[in-house]
Amino acid sequence: MNELIDRALTAGASGHAPGDEPLERTDGRSLACIRFDLGWDSAAAHHVDSTVATRLDLWRDILPPALEPLIIGQPVGHQAAYRFEPGELIDRAGLADRPRLRASQFNRGFTGRAPVQPRVGRFYPKGILTGVPGVFSADRTPFRVLDSDGDGLHVDLAHPLADRPLDLNLTIEGAWAAPDQRGGRCTDVAELLTANGPGMQGRAGERPTDFWSDLPFGRLDPRPDAAFYAEPRFVDHIDRIAIAAIGALYGRLIPAPDDAPAPRLLDLMTSWHSHLPASLAGAQVTGLGMNQAELDANPALCERIVHDLNRAPALPFANASFDAVLCTVSVEYLVEPFAVFRDIARVLKPGGRVAVTFSNRWFPPKAIAVWEGLHEFERPGLVLEYLLESGRFTDLNTWSLRGLPRPADDKYAGRLRLSDPVYAVWGTCAEERTA
């Protein structure tokens, strides 16, 4: 990952001027690039949310007190870990704020489009609530519905990680002498790491999140996919820094030892690129996609199969055929995901991995309805439900990556400062059903 961050800082607008003087270690007035990996556990999975702060101002920005000695005065390359006990990084004051509200206090017309219904386990912006002290219509802070019936709803207004221990690992990727400073805006690092997202991937206790009550698998364009994908689209849905991050993740999840047969990989719903690192260059990769020309242009593939999973969710492979199944920026198009993930378990060898990655860009006409209506950090929770429903996957994990700079020559560089976020869900195939 250090190599990826170096590449991003070289290719993107990192926020450091060409004349900034690099330092060997930080001090209380320097600038720093720091990667923060925030780990936590839900009932079903382990989660890591990674944030890269490329221009942290150690004079102005607000560090949690426990992190100051782990960062200030430390050399570039320094790594440190710290466990935050519940309430230490995120205020626990709101934990008691789980009111029972009248049904009329949930503004179903909040979006101005189709009515929004409160669903158990889902998150909504606090501004959707009326008559709640301290909550205003412009408030976009997420809250969770714990229960709902015809008479009212029980909600949790606290941060979803407020009652959990949090394990933070940090790496100092770079340091620079700061220019003369006279005030300015500051960043609260605790808020940077936890606000508006982390924690939303997990269930509310053991109860599955209700993603299913509102025709979740409908699409704006319900026509058969074969017509939509008839013409090749030689495009990438994410920028090259996000692509490199996904490749690095796959390299970590799928080891390719020198003294073992090359792994057999299934690149599911693939196109003209398989997002594989150099370490997997010798893998035997089967590609299953929707357009023959795109598959033919993919040099990583040893076998190419055109197959519409929305028409026939059964995979055309024998049991235990693959060491790993990868699905990159495509899971949002599946209209029968439960059937597909059950069959992924069938074609995986016991101990094999499934890894699903995605970002916040897609073809709107073909994405399932529930996908667009979810907060970005709820989508890993949706994919986790696919794996959990099959009963065949253990060692479940989610991961997110935010904050890397967008390459300066990217077509969206003028409008978007940061690289596309990356979200990932993976698990290991068990011998028998786990539930």
Q: Tell me the torsion sign for CA atoms 93, 98, 102, 105.
A: positive
Across 30-52, b (16+ Cβ under 10 Å) vs e yields bbbbbbbbbbbebebbebbbbbb
Write down the mean pLDDT value for the chain. 92
Model confidence at 116, pLDDT cuts 50, 70, 90, reads very high
**Pair of tokens at residue 158:** 């606290």
Model confidence at 416, pLDDT cuts 50, 70, 90, reads confident
Contact 199, 380 (CB under 8 A): no
Does residue 120 register a pLDDT over 60?
A: yes
Model confidence at 91, pLDDT cuts 50, 70, 90, reads confident
Predicted pLDDT at 97: 72
Does residue 412 register a pLDDT over 90?
A: no
Predicted pLDDT at 182: 65
Question: What CA–CA distance (Å, rounded) separates 260 from 256?
Answer: 8
**Pair of tokens at residue 432:** 């028998």
Q: Which residues, at least 6 apart from 60, have a Cβ–Cβ distance to it below 8 Å?
A: 181, 184, 185, 186
- 23-46 pLDDT tens trace: 999 999 999 999 999 999 999 999
Does residue 4 register a pLDDT over 90?
A: no
Reported residue count of the chain is: 435
Does residue 14 register a pLDDT over 60?
A: no
Predicted pLDDT at 316: 98
Q: What phi and psi values does residue 402 have, to the nearest 5 degrees? A: -135, 155
**Pair of tokens at residue 375:** 């907060």
Q: Which residue has the tokens 């690992």?
A: 169
Partners of residue 48 on adjacent β-strands? 39, 399
Type of residue numbered 248: A
Contact 324, 263 (CB under 8 A): yes
- 136-192 pLDDT tens trace: 999 999 999 999 887 899 999 999 999 999 999 999 999 999 887 666 789 999 999
* Nearest residue to 181 (alpha-carbon basis) of 403, 31, 395: 31
| Max avg pLDDT among 4-8, 260-264, 418-422 | 418-422
Domain segments of the chain as ranges = 2-90+167-184, 98-156, 225-429
Predicted pLDDT at 15: 58
Which of 3.40.50.150, 3.20.10.10, 3.40.930.10, 3.30.70.330 is the CATH number of 225-429?
3.40.50.150
- 203-215 pLDDT tens trace: 998 889 999 999 9
Q: Which residues, at least 6 apart from 364, have a Cβ–Cβ distance to it below 8 Å?
A: 220, 372
Strand blocks (E) in 283-382: 284-289, 303-306, 322-328, 348-358
- 361-376 pLDDT tens trace: 888 999 999 999 999 9
